[in-house]
Amino acid sequence: MAEMTAPVAVGDRLTVTIEGYAAEGEGVGRYEGFTVFVPQTLVGERVETEIELVKKNYARGRLLALQEASPHRVDPACSLYTQCGGCQLLHLSYEGQLTMKRQRVVDTLQRIGGLAEVTVHPVIGMAEPWHYRNKVQYPFGLADNRIVVGCYQKGTHRVVPTDTCAIQHELNSKVMQAVRKLAQKYKLTVYDERTGEGFLRHVLVKNAFGTGEVMVVLVTNDAEFAKGPELAQALAKACPAVKSVVQNINTTRGNTVLGSESRTLWGADRITDRLGDLEFKISANSFFQVNPKQTEVLYEKAVEYAGLTGKETVLDAYCGVGSLTLFLARRAKEVYGVEAVEPAIRDAEENAAHNGIANVRFIVGRTEKVLPKLAAIGTGFDVAVVDPPRAGCDPEVLKTMAKVGVGRVVYVSCNPSTLARDLKILAELGYVTKEVQPVDMFPHTFHVECVVLITKL
């Protein structure tokens, strides 16, 4: 059978009606039965597009004109929207975003997981979906021989100067610009990915909403930083909220932002943030949720689905620095947190001690290895909570939970596709997906978080 020839070519201009959305929020239409992706378009819109890329099974175009606009279209609240890849949905009303994200979860569960009858609740959104991010991470660049800092232009590594951001806390932007001015004043060089030369690579600002403390992390291409302490002190003077300035050393040629070694240039080694009535220590390399208000919503839903009465022994797989573990521990008899990253476990143990929570035990290792060992010494679990990275759970984790007889599973997911895949595996292992609660952790982006209640047949 002859292969189908694409009915479009690069440079063609054509009109399509947008019928759905792709995984990252682009509009999807069809031309003579051929799939065409058009970013910044909405379902129901009739658009003129110019084809920029043609593959075997699809084409991608750029939006030229709206012939019929959606009633949910709004003017983007950012002048950099067409350049920056950080927000994908600023052209869609917030109510429309929540509807779109729920539908994405419904469609993905059905298409990948075969779950057509599962209850998917409306997405829990934010009353004020702006300036919610407590962390910003930007590369340094050069423009007209002056240092700039900002986001990458979409699809490139060209730095777009970013003075403000609609989803960043205003203080993050203020600190970022102070860093830029000081880098210029101290005549620091900027890292060039092509040559591997230059000193400053990235800057991170971590803003503890609960305490008002700020940490600044300067990622450098060399350990030697003679001007570092002086620059750090000047930054703290310019921005009194800054309590910690850290140098992170990354001499690799890859695209990983942080290196493994950090040195405190000024102030404290860590800052403290709060979630609910719990406090957490945050270091340069530690992970902490970037939307604290919605994190509390997410965690409370996970605790609710866990159905804790104070008598249960709970497994928290992929526990990280133990933030969710401690929320669970206040309602459970005992919680075991398992995490493969040893520094995260050290942070988790310190956070438990700092909050005076003693009914937790943290173990370094992979869950599929740790769980059978615990079972062998008679440790069983009434409830398992899993909060894996975007890649989802290792299949052996799911199989091991079934093998040791975990009766209730709460799955916290940041990726509907891998969630659906894992729910299908759990169904094959004798589990039933009861309900799904999406939570909007990242307004104006295509991301959606879910909390899922799963029980054993």
Q: Which amino acid is at 165?
A: C
Alpha-carbon distance values, 408 to 149, 255, 317, 385, 386 (Å): 47, 39, 13, 9, 11
How far is 175 from 152, CA to CA, in rounded Å?
19
- State whether the Cα torsion 192-163-444-130 is positive or negative: positive
How far is 41 from 72, CA to CA, in rounded Å?
11
Burial of 106 (0-12, 13-18, 19+ CB in 10 A): middle
Within 10 A of 233 (CB to CB), how many other CB atoms are there? Answer: 14
Residue ranges of alpha helices (H) inside 261-407 are: 292-306, 323-329, 342-354, 367-376, 395-403
- In angstroms and rounded to an integer, the radius of gyration of the C-alpha atoms of the chain is 24
User: 87, 151, 393, 414: which one is catalytic?
Assistant: 414
Burial of 194 (0-12, 13-18, 19+ CB in 10 A): exposed
Rounded to the nearest 10 degrees, how much is the dihedral formed by the CA atoms of 25, 26, 29, 35? Answer: -110
Active site residue 414: yes
Bridge partner list, 207: 214
SS3 131: coil
Q: Which amino acid is at 65?
A: A
* Nearest one of 260, 182, 181, 174 to 219, comparing CA atoms: 260
Q: Phi first, then psi: what are they for 294, rounded to 5°?
A: -75, -25
Q: Which amino acid is at 35?
A: T
Residue 168 DSSP class: B
Count, residues in the chain: 457
How far is 84 from 56, CA to CA, in rounded Å?
28
Burial of 376 (0-12, 13-18, 19+ CB in 10 A): exposed
Residue ranges of alpha helices (H) inside 68-196 are: 94-113, 170-185
Within 10 A of 179 (CB to CB), how many other CB atoms are there? Answer: 24
Residues serving a catalytic function are 414
